[in-house]
Amino acid sequence: MSDTLLSVLQWYGAISGAIAALIVSLNLGAQKTGYGFIIFVTSSAALIAWGFLSEDGVGIGTQNIVLLAINCIGVYRYLIAHEDPQEKSA
């Protein structure tokens, strides 16, 4: 596997994950939080690919399979089902 491709996957996963975490942590409303979860999904996909294509990344790849499922739940809740957890607790 190309070292360049592995590097792009690794860095995209790391940077997009940090951006998604910032968006979700700012709590800017359901739709923007949902978009943050979409970015998390792409981050997880990149880190899954990187994890299983690189020699030492199987642990990160496995972790991101679980995170991908969690992030898909976030996309569903905030963008598809249009649930805003703050509205339920208020």
pLDDT band at 90 (very low <50, low <70, confident <90, very high): low
Residue span of the structural domain in which 66 resides: 3-89
What is the rounded distance in angstroms from the CA atom of residue 63 to the CA atom of residue 27?
Answer: 25
In a 10 Å sphere around its CB, with 0-12 CB exposed, 13-18 middle and 19+ buried, how is residue 84 labelled? middle
Q: How many separate domains does the chain show?
A: 1
Q: Exposed e or buried b for every residue in 71-81, given b needs 16+ CB within 10 A?
A: bbebbebbbee
Model confidence at 88: pLDDT above 90: no
Please indicate, yes or no, whether the overall pTM of this predicted structure exceeds 0.85: yes
pLDDT in the model for residue 22? 98
pLDDT in tens, 4-50: 999 999 999 999 999 999 999 999 999 999 999 999 999 999 999 99
